[in-house]
Structure 1
């Protein structure tokens, strides 16, 4: 059986897999087993993200849990599921905004659990099959982005102007594939301060020959009439098809509604979360956005974490979701998330 030491740091600093120590007290964040030594799932997860900047948090979580299963010496189904649960908790506790990571952990756990109804005589062979299924599930999730790009390209028309906010890997994949297929379009990119994700996107699209205009975040309403549609990503999609995404998404959706512009959300279904927040301040994330008592000498906006602030956008401001399973309306997304409860 595994145990995890309570978190004290955002990221553990030990190697991902080490040998047993005479000290049976694990370091912070390490999933520990006297049978196998220590598996630092946080460091493994962090390394995946640092080695591949295109990898999303849910995918990195799934791959980390797959690695934990590979390292596990569990001898029963209960022990294996217990190790996955504890590893998931260790990952979720490691970041301040863990919603999308939580979704990845939950879907991986549900997928594994769905294959554990039978009590096999040969647990070793059964466990190996579960591990293989886990890796296949993670691989399928990785491929979702390519399917989304292929579907999204078909929605771009020659001569179209698209507004983009933030740097969604799914949205960027659609635009890059469209450029490679010689679709003629222009992009209005919000700067997306303070991360300046929009500037990064502008550099990449211009290198592909796409005309790009970068605007200040406070120029969204001014520029909205010049585009035909808005393309954004999402960190998570909730049970009513509302989303959270990089801060500023909500005001863009409001401006799009005002000027009757379509809003499309490009996202993988592994970001669907069976949760139902009520408004901006009900999302399960602590953000120090509004602070009436800032530190002495601090006159600007509150500094953001490395993940950045996010906001909440209701489903009535979204026209459709571009996913790997097809183009879905908000109602269809909500139905799929509710159906997840019974799978």
Structure 2
């Protein structure tokens, strides 16, 4: 009698337990305040440390399983950035494995590179703030959309030495613009919340647009919160520059040609009226609320990154370097 079904069932159970432990550790890092990419890097580094695999190939398989488990828990707005950062982590860490014949020495080196990668992700926000704040002039007016932590860091750093105003969109469907505005206000920034649909009305009053990104495509375009494309289109029609503050670990080897080519095609399934509780909707009405959209590179002026200030055209070259 073959024991193959039993063996397969055992392996699936072990894999399930492993993935569950990875997800629990990842969620603990998030609850502790870590951003998605540093949290993922921490978990993957911990997998290397605790792994009982005895070969590089086995360790690689385990790391890929852990990365897949992390991606399964990713919210719609973080999928692209997490996919890019985990792929970069695996590429950066594992490519050193051919340099050592001794497995233990190789494993020690992998842990070092994992810790280094994590440190880079954690330091990237401060580097971008240093780069981006130089483009905020005293007395300027800036429009932003979404709730990007790296954009907030740019504004907070600039607010220490300059006075400027920021228009913040509500950022539907979750209304995260309100929490973003509160954060800016606490940093001493003059802030005004506007409807997402007021962007065209406000654009002639602003000097520039600054947004974050969930991911950067190979051609230099960005995947970001739904509505970013509209903001960039309006800014372009008014000849206002569109700046993007984004970490290099969000550079991804995707090349969407249309909106539906995005790797995160999930949508908010329910109607969103968080500020209009009195609104009722008939059952026969359908909803389509995409979480993200793609802004092509032609609408983006510059990207503020931890690698420096880049044009959209320079992203493909940086991706080649990152994956070498």
Q: Is the TM-score greater than 0.5?
A: yes
After superposing the two structures, state which structure 1 stretch, 228-237 or 332-341, moved more.
332-341
Provide, for residues 12-44 of structure 1, a one-character-per-residue CA deviation record: whole Å limited to 9, x for no partner: xxxxxxxxxxx8753785327xxxxxx711111
Distance 1:167 1:204 in 2: 10
Q: Which residue of 1 aligns with 2:307?
A: 325
Structure 1 residue 289 displacement after superposition: 6.4
TM-score, normalising length: structure 1: 0.82
Q: Any idea what SS the aligned residue of 1:239 has?
A: coil
After superposing the two structures, state which structure 1 stretch, 270-279 or 83-92, moved more.
83-92
Correspondent of 1:49 among 30, 35, 59: 30
Provide, for residues 223-263 of structure 1, a one-character-per-residue CA deviation record: whole Å limited to 9, x for no partner: 01111000000000011111110010000000000000010
Q: Which has the higher contact order (CA 8 A, sep 6+)?
A: 2
Distance 2:28 2:127 in 1: 26
Distance 1:290 1:257 in 2: 31
Q: Which residue of 2 aligns with 1:31?
A: 18
Distance 1:263 1:210 in 2: 20
Distance 2:282 2:49 in 1: 50
Provide, for residues 141-164 of structure 1, a one-character-per-residue CA deviation record: whole Å limited to 9, x for no partner: 110110000111111110000101
Distance 1:286 1:327 in 2: 30
Distance 2:185 2:170 in 1: 15
Q: Any idea what SS the aligned residue of 1:193 has?
A: coil
| Residues 303 and 312, structure 2, Cα contact 8 Å, conserved in 1 | yes
Q: Does 1:251 align with 2:230?
A: yes
CA 1:201–1:95: 2 relative to 1, 3 Å: closer
Q: Does 1:315 align with 2:301?
A: no
Q: Which residue of 1 aligns with 2:21?
A: 40
Structure 1 residue 220 displacement after superposition: 0.3
Structure 1 residue ranges (4+ consecutive) displaced by more than 3 angstroms after TM superposition: 27-30, 288-291, 298-302, 338-341
Aligned Cα RMSD in Å? 2.3
Correspondent of 1:187 among 163, 166, 170: 166
Matches within 5 A, 1:224-303: 224-288=203-267, 297=283, 299=285, 301-302=287-288
Unpaired runs of at least 5, structure 1: 1-22, 33-38
Q: Which residue of 1 aligns with 2:273?
A: none
Q: Does 1:100 align with 2:81?
A: yes
| Residues 186 and 210, structure 1, Cα contact 8 Å, conserved in 2 | yes
Correspondent of 2:157 among 155, 171, 177: 177
CA 1:29–1:147: 2 relative to 1, 3 Å: farther
Provide, for residues 34-93 of structure 1, a one-character-per-residue CA deviation record: whole Å limited to 9, x for no partner: xxxxx71111111211221xx332222111111111111122221221211111122223
| Residues 230 and 263, structure 1, Cα contact 8 Å, conserved in 2 | yes
Structure 1 residue 285 displacement after superposition: 1.8
Q: Would you tell me which structure has more helix in proportion to its own residues?
A: 2
CA 1:62–1:29: 2 relative to 1, 3 Å: farther
Q: Any idea what SS the aligned residue of 2:98 has?
A: coil
CA 1:24–1:278: 2 relative to 1, 3 Å: closer
TM-score, normalising length: structure 2: 0.87
Distance 2:104 2:269 in 1: 53
Correspondent of 1:145 among 125, 139, 143: 125
